[in-house]
Amino acid sequence: MATTADFRNGMCIEYNGQLFFIVQFQHVKPGKGAAFVRTKLKNVSTGKVIENTFNAGVKVNEARVERRPHQFLYKDDMGYHFMNAETFEQVPIEEGLIDNTALLNEGMEVEVVYHADTETPLMVNLPANVVFEVTYTEPGVRGDTSSTNSLKPATVTTGAQIMVPLFINTGDKIKINTSDNSYVERVK
């Protein structure tokens, strides 16, 4: 059992008979009345994010989860196939458990979160940032600098569309934030 004081981002809890990951939380102590905790919870099975408020000190069941390193191998009719980096066991995982399949590349190192009691995969976490080569984008115009806020679409090696600054050209390598598919920087 855990209390609201133990909340942290990424923690997995049982709530209303389902598993949820805590995406965000905030302890609030109003001037009048009891303290409470505002949370954003992501449902493991549906992927839906809900907001919920817990009274301070409420006990919740913490679900035991394990994070294991895996390598993405390939995709076929059965789903996405990953190899456990420690045991070399291959595991098929359905697309619904992967947040951002557009940025998943063969050979990529990912983290698979398992429910410790049932040994079932709950979700796949990509690295925070990935580097890809731009395979196609409209050519940049002379005079475009990094100080402008104008963006244009670019396609990377996985086929994902990313909005990039005007100075990015085909063949450039860029770093992409996997949580929101946003451009971070150009990589040399």
CATH, residue 88: 2.40.50.140
101 three-state secondary structure: helix
Question: What are the distances in angstroms from CA 141 to CA 44, 137, 165, 167?
Answer: 45, 12, 11, 7
> Same structural domain for residues 17 and 50?
yes
Are 27 and 37 in contact, with CB atoms under 8 Å apart? yes
> Same structural domain for residues 70 and 118?
yes
pLDDT of residue 10: 87
Last residue of a domain, one of 47, 62, 77: 62
Q: What letter represents residue 32's amino acid?
A: K
> Same structural domain for residues 70 and 56?
no
Are 74 and 83 in contact, with CB atoms under 8 Å apart? no
Are 37 and 56 in contact, with CB atoms under 8 Å apart? yes
What's the domain range around 29?
2-62
Are 99 and 140 in contact, with CB atoms under 8 Å apart? no
> Same structural domain for residues 136 and 104?
no
pLDDT of residue 135: 94
Q: What is the mean pLDDT of each run of 10 residues along the chain (188 residues)?
A: 91 92 93 93 88 94 93 92 94 88 92 90 91 90 62 92 90 93 91
pLDDT of residue 149: 75
CATH number at residue 22: 2.30.30.30
> Same structural domain for residues 40 and 26?
yes
Contacts of 147 (CB under 8 A, 6+ apart): none
pLDDT of residue 100: 86
Last residue of a domain, one of 62, 87, 110: 62
Q: How many domains does the chain have?
A: 3
